[in-house]
Amino acid sequence: MSSAAAHRFDATILREYDIRGILGRTLGEADARALGRAFAIPVLEGGGKRVAVGRDGRLSSPALERELVAGLAESGIDVLRIGLGPTPMLYFASATAGVDGAIMVTGSHNPPDHNGFKIVLRGKSFYGPDIQRLGTIAATGAFRSGAGKVTSAELLDAYVARLLQDYDGKRALTVVWDAGNGATGEALVRLAAKLPGRHVLLNEKIDGTFPAHHPDPTEPETLRQLQATVAAEHADLGIAFDGDGDRIGVVDAKGRILWGDQLMTVLAADLVRTRPGATIIADVKASQVLFDEIARIGGTPLMWRTGHSIIKSKMAETGAPLAGEMSGHIFYADRYYGYDDALYAAVRLLGILGRSSETLASLRDRLPQVVNTPELRFPCADERKFAVVAEVRDRLRQAKAEMADIDGVRVRTKDGWWLLRASNTQAVLVARAEARDQQGLERLKSALVAELGRSGITPPKF
Ligand SMILES: [Zn+2]
């Protein structure tokens, strides 16, 4: 063990699920170097030696990647550089390239001046206290020294071939794709060239300034161009990716958005047909319709905490072949590796639709009709947010309300349900409600507002 220069990360960048900061303000090249040196410790402790590194298309990513690789190598780690591509391609390297860890340089869907890192150790998400420990290692400068080998591999074709291997459609479709100038662009060009059907590509040129729109398919305004093109091309559906390709957005032929839970009902129905009884996981924000549908078709629904790292861990623990989040992270362990890969989810969706006589629009119309709010996010201080949720939970428990409290509180009434949880990544509270009809929804919203009022919080109107 050698004690090289210690390094202090800005306290805001070591987050629950990843490392993320703003260039020149909270994140710089010295942080990437120190991350490489610090991450080498848990890799070496576990008897590991080799780490894969990938990067997205942000303007700051090449420099961060260079320093990260240098930090790993000077700590004695052999580095496999896989270059520019989506985050799931880095996960693919982690699963198949014989490495002990993997780090993606990516700012995901965030603005151009943001960037960060997603980390895997021995095939598992590296998050929570593991990330905090990197801060401790760096602060003490307890690094190791060595001379790791650095090699490069071109993985894009192998990754795209693996995606195509599981395409099982029979009917060719017309699909509009929007890569949002994110890191999926080149993979998408190669994928679409080999899939049957007609494919119209939007914003497939990787450009870290994101000139067309923000690459976040949970924001409805980012899907306008996709919706318009689906209509103009008379396409069967449209598919969008976030900046690093671990989240998907889908619109049907009528231009309607399928939210993460609605998409999951389509994917789950197909999966349970081949794997009766299978456990299917969705996060606490998902519609009751999804959980009820999974049970109705003979699957085993499991509601779990929000967060891609947490969901992946729960899948590994339960052996669930499919999981999904409202945010558009979709995880397949059925025929695949159990990580969130939006391109893979797209291939499976096209297979389902290509084997079905029904359109996506009609599958969507067959779902039980409910009314719900979008996800409402409103500011609440980090020091206060968890306490507010705990107070609400304690009052409801006293009142003997029917609720799940695995992640915030999700309360069921005869009208439907409402959710209140604290974000793990931002100083915000998150709320959502869903009912069978509008009057029921108003009652749920009133109950939620009243509960927040008892803790001195006035949410914005929703
Ligand atoms: Zn992402």
Going by pLDDT thresholds of 50, 70 and 90, the confidence category of residue 460 is confident
Q: Which pLDDT does position 289 carry in this prediction?
A: 96
Per-residue model confidence as pLDDT tens digits over 163-203 = 999 999 999 999 999 999 999 999 999 999 999 999 999 99
Answer whether residue 462 shows pLDDT above 90: no
Instruction: Calculate how far, in angstroms, residue 242's C-alpha sits from the geometric centre of ligand 1.
Output: 5
Element (H or E) spanning 36, and its range? helix 29-45
Q: Which pLDDT does position 14 carry in this prediction?
A: 96
Percent helix, strand and coil across the chain, each rounded to 5? 40, 25, 40
Instruction: Calculate how far, in angstroms, residue 348's C-alpha sits from the geometric centre of ligand 1.
Output: 19
Answer whether residue 457 shows pLDDT above 70: yes
What are the Cα distances from residue 179, in Å, to 234, 269, 297, 370? Answer: 19, 27, 33, 31
Mean per-residue pLDDT for 30-41? 98
CA atoms of 126 and 120, how far apart (whole Å): 5
Instruction: Calculate how far, in angstroms, residue 399's C-alpha sits from the geometric centre of ligand 1.
Output: 39
Q: Is 94 a catalytic residue?
A: no
Instruction: Calculate how far, in angstroms, residue 451's C-alpha sits from the geometric centre of ligand 1.
Output: 33
DSSP class of 327: T
The answer to whether residues 15 and 309 touch, using CB atoms and an 8 Å cutoff, is no
Sign of CA dihedral 381, 383, 384, 390: positive
CA atoms of 206 and 201, how far apart (whole Å): 12
Q: What percent of the chain has pLDDT over 70?
A: 99
Q: What is the DSSP string of 380-403?
A: --HHHHHHHHHHHHHHHHHTT-EE
The answer to whether residues 416 and 391 touch, using CB atoms and an 8 Å cutoff, is no
Instruction: Calculate how far, in angstroms, residue 370's C-alpha sits from the geometric centre of ligand 1.
Output: 28
CA atoms of 149 and 143, how far apart (whole Å): 18
Answer whether residue 3 shows pLDDT above 60: no
Answer whether residue 5 shows pLDDT above 90: no
Sorted by sequence, the CB contacts under 8 Å of residue 264 that are 6+ apart come out as 280, 282, 286, 290, 322, 324, 330
CA atoms of 29 and 43, how far apart (whole Å): 21
Instruction: Calculate how far, in angstroms, residue 40's C-alpha sits from the geometric centre of ligand 1.
Output: 24
Sorted by sequence, the CB contacts under 8 Å of residue 177 that are 6+ apart come out as 188, 192, 199, 200, 201, 202, 204, 238, 239, 240, 241, 346
Given 108, 125, 287, 309, the catalytic residue: 108
DSSP class of 368: P
Element (H or E) spanning 55, and its range? strand 50-55
Instruction: Calculate how far, in angstroms, residue 141's C-alpha sits from the geometric centre of ligand 1.
Output: 31
Instruction: Calculate how far, in angstroms, residue 146's C-alpha sits from the geometric centre of ligand 1.
Output: 33
Q: What percent of the chain has pLDDT over 90?
A: 96
Instruction: Calculate how far, in angstroms, residue 440's C-alpha sits from the geometric centre of ligand 1.
Output: 34
Answer whether residue 1 shows pLDDT above 70: no
Instruction: Calculate how far, in angstroms, residue 37's C-alpha sits from the geometric centre of ligand 1.
Output: 25
The answer to whether residues 292 and 264 touch, using CB atoms and an 8 Å cutoff, is no
Buried b (16+ CB within 10 A) or exposed e, 6-41: ebebeeebbbebbbbbbbeebbbeebbbbbbbbbbb
Per-residue model confidence as pLDDT tens digits over 342-381 = 999 999 999 999 999 999 999 999 999 999 998 899 999 9
- Average pLDDT score, the chain: 96
| C-alpha closest to that of 183 among 105, 119, 238 | 105
CA atoms of 196 and 174, how far apart (whole Å): 9
Per-residue model confidence as pLDDT tens digits over 384-432 = 999 999 999 999 999 999 999 999 999 999 999 999 999 988 899 999 9
Q: Which pLDDT does position 4 carry in this prediction?
A: 63
Mean per-residue pLDDT for 246-251? 98
Answer whether residue 2 shows pLDDT above 60: no
Instruction: Calculate how far, in angstroms, residue 400's C-alpha sits from the geometric centre of ligand 1.
Output: 39
- Identity of residue 267: L
